Amino acid sequence: MRETGGRGQGPGRGGGGAGSHGGPGAVRRTPGGPGRPGRQGGTGSGRSEGPRDEPPRRNRDEDAGRSRRDDGDGRARREGRPGPGDRPGSEGRPPSDRRAGSDRRQDADGPSAQESRPRRPGGDATRSAGQGRADDPFDLPRGLTGAPSQEGRRGRSDATVPAPRGGQRHDARPPRSQSQGQSKGPSQSQAPPPRRPVRRPPPPPRPPRPPLVLRLGNPRRRINIGLIGMTFILSIFAGRLIQLQGLDSKIYEAKAADQRVISEVIPAKRGSITDAGGHALAVTVEAREIAVDPSKIPADQRAKMAATLAKELGKPEADIAAKLARLTSRYELVARDVDPVVADRVLDHELPTVTTKKTYRRTYPAGDLAGTLIGFVGNDGTGLEGVEQMRNSRLAGQDGKQSVEQGRDGQRIPMTRSQRQAPIAGRDVRLTIDRDIQWAAQKAIAQQVSASGALSGTVIVMDVKTAQIIAMANAPELDLNNWQKAPDTSYVNRAVSEVFEPGSTNKVITAAAAIEAGAVRPDTTFRVADHIRCADQILKDSHPHKTETMTFKKVVETSSNVGTIQAARRVGDERLFAMLKNFGFGTRPGLGLPGEEAGLLPDYKSWSGTQRCTVAYGQGVSVTALQTASVYQAIANGGVRVEPRIVAGETDAHGRFVPAKPGKQTRVVSGQTAREIASMLEGAVSAEGTGTLAAIPGYRVAGKTGTANRYDQQLGRYNGYTASFVGFAPADKPELVVLAVVQKPSEDIYGGHVAAPVFKDVMTFAIKSRKIPPTAPTAAPSAPPARIGTGH
């Protein structure tokens, strides 16, 4: 009976060769030594008669190759030479050991080693055709390589019984029939009888390998880290919210309000300035400001707009065109202080971006009347000079405020908050100025300055009892309606700010000091020459004359410098200095006007040798026109000096007039001394005096002329003269004081000739305006011959 290990494709193999592969249940052949029987092979190519498992198709080529190797091995043994399967050293190993090793290698290595090693090109095709070579290194017997068979890897459903120690082994496969073929060689007769195969139970299947799982770490740690991160982020948000809504809430609220809340100032109406009779000298009227937005004006309409605005507003077209050409500007003020009627005409043209704003405009109905005294208001509504500056806080009032919420287009947001604080109008200020007398004073001094070719002139009219300023005129005067076009020198109120040496008008103070001290009396006589030595210089009298005896009254009447120096030496420097201070020299008069000066009165201890003499007749000291007028006000008031006043009063919050407080009164000399000096001054205006041109028919007039060298501060030296005259009337019952000062006259330099006529014109008008009755004969005194001298 013939065995076969599978599908035979060649002649049967001898007993010493390696059998071909069988099915899945075939016994693995172990190579043995010489004379060991091999598997009986068949000559046919049919299948085995016994039951067997059909190997997979992919192993059939391997079976064919092994059959070829077995065939070659059998032939080698028959011919007495070792076959490819006879491996040295294999005889000593039991088949069971070799099988066990093979099985162990199969279990350890898994798939067959034959499958894992590389195949020779074309090897599969050759073996599949039954033409394999026995000496091919890729076709080594399985016993030499130790690789597990493909069938063993697939399972051992047909287990085999290990061969006995004699080297014989029987397949568990059922034997083939004799008709299928018989292996060639002598080992055929020695083959043992076939044994019944013993089936082993299949081994338990290997457990499935668990799938690959990615370990993500500890979840609790991840949760904690996430919570920490979330807490940190939330703490940042919470801190920012606390900062925005708690700490910085006021700041952001203010910024938001600034963006949408627009505050607008409501200007207060400035108070009026009136004269003593209530006539308006400065008033505030309603006006308009006209502005444009150049960034929104179409290019093709700019020229037309400039021409229209220039025509309506009376401004140069080039100036308006330049403002319209500023494309980066959102607001350009075209004109201010525009009359409302003119502003309405501008709006009627419907020019793009043209807007108007309600404002107030300061006007001066009297033009240049008391211009330097009243002053003016700047573009921002603040007083800059004169009473406008002195009483600015009262006149200006308090501006109101209005705040509204508006959107980006400038329109007010409906139903939003709106705050409005009403403005408080300014107080009206009433001056002591008499409009009519002010006009007469300005006219008289302007005419004389022009006639004498003088640089400037000043006139002050003062009430004797109250020291209120009735008129304060300067020439040239400032036109308040066109103050922008006037030079800066015209802004100065010379009556309170211009300092000059008084000259002979100061001799009344020396006379008052001498009489008050008891050093002289009006009838005290002096031996007077036309010159006198003072320190290292010779000082001349007011006019050349022979040495003669003069009473002190005559010394004052004729304005003798030498006689005045002799009287001052009897008084002494200290007493003379004290009298000058009592009359207000060296201190401000107290009006409070801007630029008010105190003059210059050096201390008697610093007087030089010549200054001890010149101070007595009004040189070496400096005063203002207001200070000089205040001296004669004290003499006319019986020796009581009153601080001058320019403001009569002002209205209160309810519009009621509240009078100003009277000026401080100070007794300078006794009433007797004042009357004696007044009598001397009345003689100076008489035919015997130097001020004959100041006499007024029907009225007793007392006064004094003055002529002094004029100190020019710009040049730093004396340049020209200052001519002045000051007096009061009626002399027996004084009512008014008038001072006239002419600076640097060119035609005539003496006060009796230049300033006295101005005094006469102004005093005459003031007396008539005040309706002061005459107290003296109406006959006018005859004019004496002109006297020559610097003391006049």
pLDDT of 4-45, one tens digit each? 443 434 433 334 343 334 444 434 444 444 444 444 444 343
Q: How far apart are CA 391 and CA 382, in angstroms?
A: 10
Q: pLDDT class for 772, splitting at 50, 70, 90?
A: very high
pLDDT, tens digit, 9 for 90 and up, residues 231-243: 999 999 998 888 8
Rounded CA separation 766/740 (Å): 14
Is the bond into 56 cis (omega within 30 degrees of 0)? Answer: no
In three-state form (DSSP H/G/I as H, E/B as E, the rest C), the secondary structure along 264-300 is EEECCCCCCEECCCCCEEEEEEEEEEEEECHHHCCHH
Structural domain boundaries enclosing 307:
264-431
Q: In one letter, which amino acid is 103?
A: D
Same domain, 582 and 691: yes
Q: Are 55 and 21 in contact (CB under 8 A)?
A: yes
- Can you tell me the distance from the alpha carbon of 700 to that of 692, in angstroms, rounded to the nearest whole number? 12
**Predicted pLDDT of residue 177:** 42
SS3 207: coil
Most confident of 413-422, 455-464, 536-545, 783-792: 455-464
pLDDT at residue 215, as a whole number: 66
In total, how many domains does the chain have? 3
Stronger pLDDT, 286 or 91, i.e. the higher one: 286
Predicted confidence at residue 117, as pLDDT, reads 43
At residue 590, the pLDDT reads: 87
Is the same domain home to 493 and 360?
no
Structure tokens at 663: 């000026």
Least confident piece of the model among 86-95, 203-212, 257-266, 732-741 = 86-95
Q: Does residue 221 lie in a domain region? A: no
Note whether 342 and 449 are same-domain residues: no
Spacing of C-alpha 618 from chain mean position: 58
Angstrom distances, CA of residue 780 to CA of 682, 727, 731, 771, 783:
14, 17, 15, 20, 9
Tell me what the mean pLDDT of segment 709-720 comes to.
Answer: 87
3-state secondary structure of 87: coil
Examine the fold and report which residue of 130, 159, 185 is the final residue of a domain before the chain moves on. 185
The residue among 142, 166, 185 that closes a domain is: 185
Both 14 and 52 in a single domain?
A: yes
Domain's final residue, options 399, 431, 463: 431
Which one has a higher pLDDT value, 642 or 537?
A: 642
35 alpha-carbon distance from chain centroid:
119
User: Over the range 104-130, which residues count as b (16 or more CB within 10 Å of their CB) and which as e?
Assistant: ebbeeeeebbbbeeeeeeebeebbbeb
In a domain, residue 212? The reply is no
Q: What is the CA radius of gyration of the chain?
A: 70
User: Looking at the domain assignment, is residue 215 inside a domain?
Assistant: no
572 and 641 within one domain = yes
Is 355 in a helix, a strand, or coil? strand
Question: 361 pairs with which residues across the strands?
Answer: 285
| Whether residue 563 is found in the same domain as residue 691 | yes
Q: Write out pLDDT tens, residues 325-366.
A: 998 888 899 998 899 999 999 999 989 889 888 889 999 999
For residue 635, pLDDT over 60 is answered with yes
Residue 505 is part of a domain; what is its CATH number? 3.40.710.10
Residue 742, pLDDT > 80, answer yes
Q: Which two tokens stand for residue 354?
A: 């043209």
pLDDT tens track for 181-229: 444 444 444 566 666 777 788 888 888 887 776 666 678 888 888 899 9
Compute the C-alpha angle 528/533/534, nearest 5°: 115
Query: Alpha-carbon distance 702 to 684, whole Å?
Result: 7
* Average predicted confidence (pLDDT) for the chain: 78
Q: What is the pLDDT of residue 495?
A: 95
Same domain (yes/no): 444, 295: no
Same domain, 143 and 285: no
Shared-domain flag, residues 427 and 444: no
Task: Flag whether 505 is in a domain.
Answer: yes
Helix (H) / strand (E) element for 754: namely helix 751-754
More confident residue, 489 or 600: 600
CATH number at residue 419: 3.90.1310.10
Confidence of residue 516 (pLDDT cuts 50, 70, 90): very high
Q: Is there a contact between 299 and 322 (Cβ–Cβ < 8 Å)? A: no
Does 505 lie in the same domain as 385? no
- Do 423 and 443 sit in the same domain of this protein? no
Asked whether residue 575 is assigned to any structural domain, the reply reads: yes
Do both 340 and 481 map to the same domain?
A: no
Per-residue tokens: 41 = 């092979």
Tell whether 786 is covered by a domain: no
- Residue 208 domain-assigned (yes or no): no
Tokens of 141: 């017997």
Q: What kind and span of H or E run contains 719?
A: strand 717-729
- The answer to whether residue 659 sits within a structural domain is yes
Q: How distant is the alpha carbon of residue 214 from its chain centre?
A: 63
